[in-house]
Amino acid sequence: MTERACIILAAGMGTRLGLKDVPKVMVGLHDKPLLHHTVETVLKTNPDNFIVVTGHKGEVIKRYFGNDLIYQRQEVLNGNAGALREGLKGLNNRNKNVLVLQGDDSAFYKIESLLNLISLHERSDADLTMIFTNEYDPNTFKSQYIPDERNRIIKMVYPIRNPSDGFYFTGSFCARVELLKKQIPKLKPIDGIISTTQIILNSLEESKRVFGLTVQGGEWVGINTPQELERAQMIISKSKDQK
């Protein structure tokens, strides 16, 4: 895909992890901060433009990565779509598509999975292509998505009736910049929050071309609690031992 940017949403506070002095994405995972693993993988996809959206304790991220990245700041923490809106301000006119990753749960994606996502988005002439997991977590997922045989999304199901009927959105996706710039101003806050899930729902209602790619088990690892962080530490330690 030509003229492609990447935006990593990294403004979260990590309240449930009990963090005070560092943003959530800078919590240690094995020998590096959580965000380092994601940046390392994304760079291998050769984006034309690379932006990190900071918020809480953003200066910690800037000190660590220095001038190697472009930064946009989310002053008001009003949801991941709010962070994405700030990230889009850092794009240039040549950026036609953007890979959007959540900075707190994208550390385990394989380079092949991100390249497959980009490839599916391009060859399907998609407006938006989502990353799915088929590992249902009732504490995380409240809706599911049903694709057809070509991986185009037919509908979103809410509430979930049968967990095995569909797939679950990890929060990461590839999209046309033009679509995002049109959709985000339409979003109405729910309890003060605007989310990227709302962008997807609106796109489906407007019959946009929305597709999905399912990653292998263990590539999406949500890290919101000390228990989930401990699990992630075990996963990455095991992967390092196998190399």
Q: What is the pLDDT of residue 239?
A: 64
Longest dimension (CA), the chain: 48
Q: What percent of the chain has pLDDT over 90?
A: 77
Q: What is the pLDDT of residue 235?
A: 85
Inter-residue contact 129 to 161 (CB < 8 Å): no
Average the pLDDT over 92-99 and give the result.
94
pTM tops 0.95, yes or no: no
Which tokens is 164 given? 């095995």
What would the pLDDT profile of 129-141 be if each residue is shown by its tens digit?
A: 999 999 998 888 9
What would the pLDDT profile of 146-205 be if each residue is shown by its tens digit?
A: 999 999 999 999 999 999 999 999 999 999 999 999 999 999 999 999 999 999 999 999
* Domain housing 108: 4-242
Q: Residue 14: is its pLDDT beyond 90?
A: no
Q: What is the pLDDT of residue 3?
A: 82
- Give the phi and the psi of residue 178 in degrees, each rounded to 5: -60, -40
Query: Residue by residue, what is the 3-state secondary structure of 127-183?
Result: CEEEEEECCCCCCCCCCEEEECCCCEEEEEECCCCCHHHCEEEEEEEEEEHHHHHHH
Q: What is the pLDDT of residue 36?
A: 95
Average the pLDDT over 82-91 and give the result.
96
- DSSP-assigned beta bridge partners for residue 49: 5
Average pLDDT, whole number, for the chain? Answer: 92
- Give the phi and the psi of residue 117 in degrees, each rounded to 5: -60, -50
What would the pLDDT profile of 44-86 be if each residue is shown by its tens digit?
A: 999 999 999 999 899 999 999 998 899 999 999 999 999 999 9
Question: What distance in Å separates the CA atoms of residue 49 and residue 94, rounded to the nearest whole number?
Answer: 10
Q: What count of other Cβ atoms lies within 10 Å of the Cβ of residue 240?
A: 10
Q: What is the pLDDT of residue 243?
A: 47
Total number of domains in the chain: 1
Region of residue 69 (phi > 0: left; psi between -120 and 50: alpha; otherwise: beta):
beta
Burial readout 52-91 (b: 16 or more C-beta within 10 A, e: otherwise): bbbbbbbebbeebeeeebebbebeeebbbbbbbbbbbebb
Domain of residue 158, CATH code: 3.90.550.10
